[in-house]
Amino acid sequence: MENSLIPNGSIVLLNGGNITLMIYGRKQVLVAEDEQDGKMYDYLAVPYPEGYISPEYTYVFNHTDIAKILFKGFINEEEEEFQTVLNNA
């Protein structure tokens, strides 16, 4: 799983960031109000330890934006199988 996205529940710090984030979604498409096609991001996250507060405190970013993985979420067979789906998205 070395080339895979990290699992939901992982806690990260972004490049230049000052708050920790908890990942709760992967391969998310964000569509701006003035656009029809969206941009796909690797991750969707919320502040940790607060969790979801409102849409204004929900963040999308790519794997290359991660400065440090502070905690890696749970990995089992189901997660490993889902990595195949993510890699094809």
Show me where the domains of the chain are located: 11-88
- pTM > 0.75: yes
The pair of three-digit structure tokens given for residue 80, joined into one six-digit string: 């490993």
Q: What is the mean pLDDT of the chain?
A: 90
Task: Give the Cα separation of 55 and 36 in Å (integer).
Answer: 20
**Quick one: how far is CA 43 from the chain centroid?**
2
pLDDT in tens, 68-88: 999 999 999 999 999 888 888
